[in-house]
């Protein structure tokens, strides 16, 4: 069976879930990803034949690349309904939090009892909740905001702007443009050095704040925030983050 495209965190090719159930799972997974950074996806298909569920699951994982690149904190819950088989596929970065034995317990003790009663939504929901709780027990890198992912340039502009407005404005008002600029620039050098431990960055920050303070205007005009700002990301569909998988996880049937 071909691997379906990844457009959402929950993909149901069997009509097993009601729209509101699928939306509820999607929301749970999105909130978790926003908070933790790890990506979990659910895929429900009729069958993996002629492949085993393990073979098909790793193909899906390799194609979807769930989890962050270099962190590899993705997980896939695969259900082959007509085969009555399921599998949790775990990315490299989550193998410490979800070793095979833990994945097996989630499959057999949490999900399968619901499936045996034809409660597919209840089983998936319980399984997802347990996977989330297990992942949250292991420290992972904090999720980067879209602003951070844009690179250090955006951070530099933000820090420089804040220093220029707050420090520069105060020093100009107290000491005048030139002396205030020297003092504000010196403060900016120290702060930038403490933040980045880079002399070049510290000097650039100091020069920027000095010039801003020297050339800034008196009066109550101030700076307008405008409508631009840094990109916030968002919009569009869902895609994997480049995570890697090595076959860790566990399978079961009902």
Give residue limits of the domains in the chain.
10-140+242-253
Task: Tell which residue, 67, 64, 62, has the closest CA to residue 37.
Answer: 67
Q: What is the structure's pLDDT at 108?
A: 94
Q: Given a cut of 70, is residue 226 above it in pLDDT?
A: no
Q: Could you read off the pLDDT of 37-71 as tens digits, one per residue?
A: 999 999 999 999 999 999 999 999 999 999 999 99
Mean per-residue pLDDT over the chain, rounded: 81
Return d(Cα 16, Cα 25) in angstroms, integer: 13
Task: Tell which residue, 37, 33, 90, 17, has the closest CA to residue 245.
Answer: 90
Token duo for residue 141: 């890198």
Minimum mean pLDDT among 92-101, 121-130, 202-211: which range?
202-211
Answer for the pair 4, 11: CB distance below 8 angstroms, yes or no.
yes
| The model's pTM | 0.62
- Residues 130-153 have a mean pLDDT of 63
The domain 10-140+242-253 is placed in CATH, from the list 3.30.70.580, 2.40.110.10, 3.10.310.50, 3.30.420.10, at: 3.10.310.50
Q: What is the structure's pLDDT at 145?
A: 54
Answer for the pair 66, 76: CB distance below 8 angstroms, yes or no.
yes
By residue count, the chain amounts to: 254
Return d(Cα 217, Cα 22) in angstroms, integer: 56
Q: Could you read off the pLDDT of 167-223 as tens digits, one per residue?
A: 667 776 778 878 877 887 788 778 777 766 677 777 877 787 788 777 764 443 333
């Amino acid at each position: 069976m071909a691997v379906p495209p990844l457009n959402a965190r929950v993909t149901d090719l069997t009509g097993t879930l009601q729209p509101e159930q699928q939306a509820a799972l999607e929301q749970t997974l999105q909130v978790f990803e926003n908070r933790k950074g790890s990506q979990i996806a659910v895929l429900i298909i009729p069958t993996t034949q002629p492949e085993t569920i393990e073979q098909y699951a790793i193909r899906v994982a390799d194609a979807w690349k769930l989890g962050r690149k270099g962190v590899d904190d993705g997980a896939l819950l695969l259900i082959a309904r007509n085969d009555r088989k399921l599998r949790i596929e775990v990315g490299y970065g989550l193998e410490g939090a979800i070793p095979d034995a833990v994945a097996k317990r989630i499959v057999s003790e949490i999900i399968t009892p619901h499936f045996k009663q034809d409660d597919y939504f209840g089983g998936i929901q319980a399984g997802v909740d347990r996977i989330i709780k297990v992942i949250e027990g292991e420290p992972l890198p904090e999720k980067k905001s879209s602003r951070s992912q844009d690179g250090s340039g955006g951070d530099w502009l933000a820090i420089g702007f804040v220093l220029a407005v707050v420090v520069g404005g105060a020093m100009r008002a107290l000491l005048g443009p030139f002396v205030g600029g020297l003092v504000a620039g010196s403060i900016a050098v120290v702060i930038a050095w403490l933040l980045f431990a880079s002399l070049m960055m510290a000097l650039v920050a100091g020069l920027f704040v000095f010039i801003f303070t020297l050339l800034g205007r008196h009066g109550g005009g101030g700076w307008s925030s405008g409508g631009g700002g840094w990109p916030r990301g968002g919009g569009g569909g869902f895609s994997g983050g480049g995570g890697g998988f090595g076959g860790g996880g566990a399978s079961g049937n009902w």
